[in-house]
Amino acid sequence: MAQQKCVSCYGELSPLDQGPECAACRRLSAQRKTWPASASGSTNAAEQPTLELSTGEGLSALGPGATEFHAGDRVTYFGDYELQGEIARAAWAWSTRLVRSA
Amino acid sequence: MGVVYKARQVSLNRTVALKMILAGTLANQADVERFRHEAEAAANLDHPGIVPVYEVGEHQGRHYFSMALVEGPSLAHRLREGPLAPRAAAELVRRSADAIQYAHSRGIIHRDLKPANILLAAGDEPKITDFGLAKRSSLAKPARSSGVGAGLADTRPWSA
């Protein structure tokens, strides 16, 4: 039987891993959910603007484990950057594939 | 592990691809060195066939670099739809080879050239990306010494 892969990092899943993600990715996913407030320097979620995305932008190739951002989602800031959607995730085999917007 | 976001650089109001180490502050020194190595390798290249790096930095313990966002599929994705026409394929190879030749002339060897790392911009203009395994031709130490799975499954030994 083929070795199962983590849907986020494509690394090998351990028999002890429960679910589609490895333990490290599960931990990081949980950590990332706390980003919007801390990365913007504000702890007041109500201050965060919402992300306006139109549909059908023609973007393609959403990879496994990627996250789509939708209209109404809260914007996440990282320093000078406003994150608008995850477009690729891999174990050292990075590429800039694009998100299919909602 | 790395993650790439589509992002808007607020100060310059431009859309970029923002790459950072997925492990963030949990990344070990080897991860950080490798990440910065990729950024530096690509940042030293200025060619229309290579995705340009805009900025390299660190924010709240997370290393990142921003680069041009190529709004198109990778060649790997395109090939799933079927083979390219012979003339288009030849032109794509010519342009890609031109970009790789330029990198070589600057002392950078990509070492992971494959369809997934060739992005197709408007007009099917190829843009080489992902210099995570690149090395300077004068360096003896291999870049994949950390033991991390290097994503080389479909990279042939003769790959540039």
Indicate the residue of A38, A79, A84 with minimum beta-carbon distance to B6: A84
CA distance A54 to A102: 8
Q: Which of B112, B124, B130, B154 is catalytic?
A: B112
Cβ neighbors of B35 (< 8 A, separation 6 or more) are: B2, B21, B27, B63, B65, B132
Q: Do A88 and B8 touch (CB under 8 A)?
A: no
Task: Give the position of tokens 């951002």.
Answer: A69
Token couple for A79: 């320093």
Q: What is the pLDDT of residues B14-63, one digit of tens each?
A: 999 998 876 666 677 877 887 888 788 888 889 999 999 998 888 878 88
For chain B, give the mean pLDDT.
Answer: 80
- Cα(B76)–Cα(B66) distance, integer angstroms: 23
Of the pLDDT bands very low, low, confident and very high (cuts 50, 70, 90), residue B84 is: very high
Of the candidates A60, A80, A92, the beta carbon closest to that of B132 is on: A92
**Average pLDDT, stretch A42-63?**
34
User: Which pLDDT score, from 0 to 100, does residue B29 have?
Assistant: 80
The residue with greater pLDDT, A31 or A62, is A31
Mean pLDDT of A58-80: 49
DSSP bridge pairs for B108: B136
DSSP H/E element including B38: helix B29-43
Q: Are B127 and B70 in contact (CB under 8 A)?
A: yes
Domain boundaries, chain A: 1-33, 35-102
A22-46 pLDDT per residue, tens:
777 676 666 554 444 333 333 343 3
DSSP secondary structure of A18-45: -SSS-HHHHHHHHHHTTHHHHHHT---G
Residue predicted with more confidence, B41 or A60: B41
CATH placement of domain B2-136: 1.10.510.10
Contacts of A84 in chain B (CB under 8 A): 5-8, 15
Which stretches of chain A sit within 8 Å of chain B by CB? 8-11, 24-25, 28, 31, 38-39, 59-61, 77-99
Q: What is the pTM of this model?
A: 0.59
Residues ≥6 apart with Cβ < 8 Å to B127:
B49, B50, B51, B68, B70, B99, B118, B119, B120, B121
For residue B42, the model assigns a pLDDT of 83
φ, ψ of residue B102 to 5 degrees: the values are -60, -45
What pLDDT shows up at residue B39? 83
Asked if B104 and A85 touch (Cβ cutoff 8 Å), the reply is no
B98 among known catalytic residues: no
Query: With contacts defined as CB-CB under 8 Å, which chain B residues touch A85?
Result: 5-6
From residue B80, alpha-carbon distances to B52, B74, B123, B129 in Å are 26, 10, 18, 19
Q: Which pLDDT does position A96 carry in this prediction?
A: 35
Helix-, strand-, coil-residue percentages of chain A, each rounded to 5 = 20, 15, 65
pLDDT band at B86 (very low <50, low <70, confident <90, very high): very high
